[in-house]
């Protein structure tokens, strides 16, 4: 139980349904849809789409989505990959010939096809109780009339210096980032949503909306075609999982990076974390080293599913054992291979559980803040820059190519124990996400923290965040931890911002739902 004399928040308890996400209006819409007869998937889609207005720097219709679903009355987990492919005309050789060592992060070359809308329409048809018009109705109303800008959103918005041309017109009213409390609307996207409500995916990937996106992209120098958009297709995939001290972590298979979180936990299982101070230097050091080693494996292995050939090796117990043996409790490893793809920190995660105990973890993103910084002319659809997740290394499984999916950082998660799914959850924060998944699981399993405390706890990340390398510590750590980690050889720095965000809902064996929402964002957990 938390200390009620200190600032903080309690976990939320409810019986009938629960949502946890990063903006209060989205949480309210999710509960509204549940009360109107929708299920967890309806609520997650309706609220998730709204977040493209409430947090436009994080997500939008031009982005991708990954979803994990536990159907009502079952304990199996269904995975939906709603990530888009590169346009057929993309060429790594052409980028190398132009002098690029990496895919230009804010270049049109990084703009992959948006997969989220196709996934939402397919999921609604296959699993939803409400039709798409009902699901999208609350979001459409808000997109038309606008919402007041929340504090964390305003902070992120002010840092979006790469917005260009049409994106500036749509996302910078009056030429400046809106202040806290200013009303922001996207009426052009409201019209797009009305077309999706009437026509399904065809209202987005065909006709005037697709023409607007293609014309805009071609004017920017892109190779995108109407045929590319029409061919977008999400797919159901088989999740991957690993067991950490009796708790299963369920993740998306490649092209998602979920296997990285499993590998981190497989490495950490070789250490007695429970005997360490949860916020002390020993635990932080071991976690940092496990993260560095697992991310190096990720960078070598994970790619489009059709090009990932060593996933079994990555998840094998002997791989984790060999990597764990490299960790010296007293000294940081001097050199781990550098990242070969761009990093980001901008994503939304919504999780919902309904009265029938369907559980959904849905993650939806445009990659960097405001994605590519570009948008379509007529409808103002912001384009993601997910293609920056490709490498230009010739022959690499994640080498950029037309029709190929890039390595993806966004990962929804679920936990299962004794055959029962006990928690849909997720940790936003781009590159930080696998480390965040592992840390939340360890907080729960090794230290017995309650759900809200597990999300609140201070974080550390041994990787790129905000474009800076080294071991970043949130300011919740004691100064002595900083010094002890530096003495072990880490390039330690105090993080200049909060590390990611998280949302989670625990499904109790007694039927009670417990929701938690990360204080690093503006959101809440809300039940009824």
The DSSP bridge pattern shows strands 471-473 and 492-494 to be parallel
Which residues of the chain does CATH 3.60.20.40 include? Answer: 238-343+412-527
Sheet holding 492-494, edge to edge: 460-462, 471-473, 492-494
Cα separation values, 210 from 381, 396, 462, 478, Å: 10, 32, 41, 52
Provide the 3-class DSSP secondary structure of residue 278.
coil
pLDDT attached to residue 341:
53
d(CA 210, CA 497): 37
Q: Quick check: 30 and 16 in contact, CB under 8 A?
A: no
Q: How far is CA 314 from CA 251, 300, 458, 517, in A?
A: 14, 10, 28, 31
Is 238-343+412-527 in CATH node 3.60.20.40?
A: yes
Segment 380-429, tens digit of pLDDT: 999 999 999 999 999 999 999 999 999 999 999 999 999 999 999 999 98
Residue 283 confidence (pLDDT): 98
Which residues in the chain come in under a pLDDT of 70? Answer: 336-346, 464-468
Q: What span, in angstroms and rounded, lies between the C-alpha atoms of 219 and 143?
A: 27
- Alpha carbon distance 283, 265 (integer Å): 13
Please report which residue ranges of 70-186 form alpha helices under DSSP H: 92-97, 116-127, 132-145, 151-158, 165-171
Q: What pTM did the predictor assign?
A: 0.95
Q: H-helix or E-strand containing 96?
A: helix 92-97
Sign of CA dihedral 304, 307, 309, 310: negative
What residue has token string 């159901």?
Answer: 236
Angle of the 116-127 helix axis to the 40-54 helix axis, nearest 10: 160
Cα gap 390→406, rounded to integer Å:
5
- Give the H or E element holding residue 351: strand 348-353
The rounded distance, in Å, linking the Cα atoms of 237 and 78 is 7
**Do the Cβ atoms of 429 and 499 come closer than 8 Å?**
yes
Tokens describing residue 414: 């679920």
pLDDT at 343: 52
What are the tokens at 364? 């939806």
pLDDT at 339: 47
Q: Which residues are catalytic?
A: 347
Please state, in angstroms and rounded to a whole number, the distance separating the CA atoms of residues 429 and 500. 4
Name, in order, each residue with C-beta under 8 angstroms of 473's C-beta and a sequence gap of 6 or more. 284, 458, 460, 481, 482, 485, 492, 493, 494, 495
pLDDT at 464: 65
Max distance between CA atoms of the chain, in angstroms, equals: 61
Judge contact between 252 and 260, C-beta under 8 A. Answer: no
Which of 188, 180, 185, 186 lies closest to 158, judged by CA?
A: 180
Q: Which of 110, 74, 55, 88 is nearest to 428 (CA)?
A: 55
Going by C-alpha positions, the residue among 457, 478, 470, 523 that lies closest to residue 496 is 470
Helix (H, G, I), strand (E, B) or coil at 238: coil
pLDDT at 342: 56
Q: What local confidence, expressed as pLDDT, does residue 430 receive?
A: 81
Closest CA to 69 of 424, 459, 453: 424
Planar angle of CA 22, 27, 30, nearest 5 degrees: 135
Give Cα separations from 144 to 28, 187, 208 (angstroms).
18, 5, 19
Residue 209's SS3 state is helix
| Lookup result for tokens 């901008």 | 346
Task: Measure the N-to-C terminal CA separation of the chain; round to a whole number of Å.
Answer: 22
């Amino acid at each position: 139980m938390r200390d009620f004399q200190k600032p903080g928040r309690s976990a939320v308890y409810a019986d009938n349904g629960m949502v946890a996400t990063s903006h209060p209006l989205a949480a309210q819409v999710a509960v509204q849809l549940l009360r109107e007869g929708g299920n967890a998937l309806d609520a997650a889609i309706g609220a998730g789409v709204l977040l493209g207005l409430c947090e436009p720097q994080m997500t939008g219709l031009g982005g991708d989505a990954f979803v994990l679903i536990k159907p009502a009355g079952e304990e199996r987990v269904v995975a939906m990959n709603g990530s888009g492919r590169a346009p057929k005309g993309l060429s790594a050789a052409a980028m190398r010939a132009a002098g690029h060592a990496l895919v230009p992060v804010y270049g049109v070359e990084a703009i992959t096809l948006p997969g989220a809308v196709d996934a939402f329409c397919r999921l609604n048809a296959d699993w939803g109780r409400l039709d798409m018009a009902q699901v999208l109705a609350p979001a459409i109303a808000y997109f038309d009339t606008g919402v007041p800008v929340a504090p964390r959103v305003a902070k992120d918005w002010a840092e979006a210096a790469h917005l260009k041309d049409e994106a500036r017109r749509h996302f910078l009213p009056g030429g400046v980032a809106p202040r806290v409390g200013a009303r922001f609307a996207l009426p052009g996207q409201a019209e797009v949503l009305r077309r999706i409500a009437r026509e399904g995916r065809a209202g987005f990937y065909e006709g005037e909306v697709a023409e607007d996106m293609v014309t805009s992209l071609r004017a920017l120098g892109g190779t995108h075609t109407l045929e590319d958009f029409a061919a977008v297709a999400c797919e159901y995939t088989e999740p991957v999982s690993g067991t950490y001290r009796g708790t299963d972590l369920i993740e998306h298979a490649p092209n998602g990076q979920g296997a990285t979180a499993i590998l981190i936990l497989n490495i950490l299982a070789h250490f007695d974390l429970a005997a360490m101070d949860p916020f002390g230097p020993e635990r932080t050091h071991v976690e940092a080293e496990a993260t560095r080693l697992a991310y190096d494996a990720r960078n070598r292995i994970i790619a489009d599913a059709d090009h990932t050939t060593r996933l079994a090796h990555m998840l094998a117990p002997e791989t984790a054992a060999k990597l764990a043996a490299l960790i010296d409790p007293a000294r940081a490893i001097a050199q781990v291979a550098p990242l070969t793809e761009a990093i980001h920190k901008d994503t939304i995660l919504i999780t919902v559980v309904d009265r029938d105990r369907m559980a959904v973890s849905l993650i939806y993103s445009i990659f960097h803040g405001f994605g590519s910084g570009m948008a379509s002319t007529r409808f103002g659809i912001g384009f993601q820059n997910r293609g920056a997740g490709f490498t230009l290394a010739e022959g690499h499984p994640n080498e950029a190519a037309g029709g190929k999916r890039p390595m993806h950082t966004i990962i929804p998660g679920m936990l299962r124990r004794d055959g029962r799914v006990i928690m849909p959850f997720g940790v936003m924060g781009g590159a930080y996400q696998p480390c965040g998944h592992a840390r939340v699981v360890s907080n729960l399993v090794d230290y017995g923290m309650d759900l809200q405390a597990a999300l609140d706890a201070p974080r550390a990340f041994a990787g790129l965040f905000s474009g800076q390398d080294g071991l970043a510590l949130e300011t919740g750590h004691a100064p002595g931890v900083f010094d002890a980690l530096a003495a072990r050889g880490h390039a330690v720095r105090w993080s200049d911002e909060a590390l990611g965000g998280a949302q989670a809902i625990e499904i109790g064996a007694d039927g009670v739902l417990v929701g938690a929402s990360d204080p690093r964002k503006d959101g809440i957990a809300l039940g009824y």
